[in-house]
Amino acid sequence: MTTGLEHVRFAHCALPDLDLDGIDLSMEFLGRQIAAPVLVSSMTGGPEKTAEINHNIAAACQALSLPFGVGSQRVALDHGSFAGLGPELRRIAPDVPILGNLGAAQLRGDAALDKAHRAVEMIGADALYIHLNPLQEAVQPEGDRDWSGLFDRIAMLAAKLEVPVAVKEVGFGLSADLCRRLFDVGVTILDVAGAGGTNWARVEAARVSGDRASLGATFADWGIPTADAILAVREACPEAVVIGSGGLKSGLDIARALRLGADVGGIAAGLLKDAMDSQADLQARLATVVEEVRITCFCTGSGDLAALKSAELMPDGH
């Protein structure tokens, strides 16, 4: 399965009548000004190199005025080992939007609101992702299988948490119907995290043997492709902040996501190697991604993001 973004083809403008360097990609996001609609999406939260990766991401995003989301804070909350998810993250990146991250399955029990407060406070987050990963959990032998009542928990957080609640999938897409229901209870940020990128059912199945190992192949084509998810969610929730993610690899992919209706594009796996290597490598890669968005604007005759969102597409494009 692919993201479907490859079918979104911009009509080339051979005479842009624009100054490339004057194209404005800036916007407001979560109450802060960012240089471009490029989000370093959640990709860490586990062991060993996580602290270094998180620090590299924070420093690179601060340098380029870009937002980022952290990986799951579950381990840090349960065991008190920050792994780069402590107060130093906000000290490294004082000026850019940071999104915290909890799994929906971690909202069971009476401590859900307290856990969410702590997740926000520990990194000075501007919003809190609640990630949805039912297929990943179902494939894991030790996965969380009881998801009853979690919609109401998310609604409770949206009503009571001090920062906006954002909901994202982990790579199988959000449906229009679910997003409308979430928006109606106060979830104002929806990250489609569509299919076509990392398939976590296959990743989890690869960790085990026997019959369970075949589950990854069974669900290899499961999910809503990113392009389809963006279109459907934007139509269902015209007032929401929509983040297009799931298999995006370049600034051109981000521009495609914006053209379909996203406000911001998120990249995760495509940046992981650079984030593991160094801040300098990640910063250089992100600068290239931003430049790719700018060049897409230039070659479609779009002087700003609003113009890009209505840029002409080829007849076979969406």
pLDDT at 110 over 80: yes
Count of residues making up the chain: 318
pLDDT in tens, 223-257: 999 999 999 999 999 999 999 999 999 999 999 99
Neighbouring residues of 154: CB distance < 8 A, sequence distance ≥ 6: 104, 107, 130, 165, 167, 182, 185, 187
Mapping DSSP to helix (H, G, I), strand (E, B) and coil, where does residue 77 land? helix
Least confident stretch, 73-87, 111-125, 182-196, 222-236 = 73-87
Contact (CB, 8 A) for 31 and 247: no
- pLDDT of residue 175 exceeding 60, the answer is yes
Structure tokens at 36: 């471009």
Which domains, from first to last, does the chain contain? 5-308 (3.20.20.70)
Number of H helices, E strands in the chain: 14, 10
Own/partner pairs for 176-179, CB < 8 Å, 24+ apart? 176/232, 176/233, 176/235, 176/236, 176/237, 177/236, 179/233, 179/236, 179/237, 179/240
Cα separation, 221 vs 1, in Å, equals: 6
The token pair at 237 is 């929730």
Q: What amino acid occupies position 6?
A: E
Element (H, E) at 38: strand 38-40
21, 94, 232, 247, 307 from 224: Cα distances, Å? 36, 35, 10, 12, 27
- What was the pLDDT predicted at 243? 98
Place of tokens 């690179």: 60
What is the separation, in whole angstroms, between the first and last Cα of the chain?
A: 18
Residue 302 has pLDDT above 70, yes or no: yes
Residue 125's pLDDT band (boundaries 50, 70, 90)? very high
Say if residues 236 and 181 touch (Cβ distance below 8 Å): no
11-40 pLDDT, tens per residue? 999 999 999 999 999 999 999 999 999 999
- The answer, yes or no, to whether residue 207 has pLDDT greater than 90, is no
Q: Estimate the crossing angle of helix 269-277 against helix 50-64, to 10 degrees.
A: 100
Backbone angles phi, psi at 215, to 5 degrees: -60, -35
For the cut 60, the answer to whether the pLDDT of residue 269 exceeds it is yes
Residue in the structure block whose two tokens are 């229901």? 181
Q: 151 to each of 179, 185, 261, 298, how far by Cα in Å?
A: 11, 10, 25, 42
The predicted model gives 71-92 an average pLDDT of: 85
Distances (CA, A) of 74 to 13, 112, 181, 218, 266: 48, 12, 26, 29, 22
Within 8 A by CB and 6+ apart from 78, the residues are: none
Pairwise CA distance, residues 142 & 119, whole Å = 24
pLDDT higher than 50, residue 45: no
Q: Is residue 44 predicted with pLDDT exceeding 80?
A: no
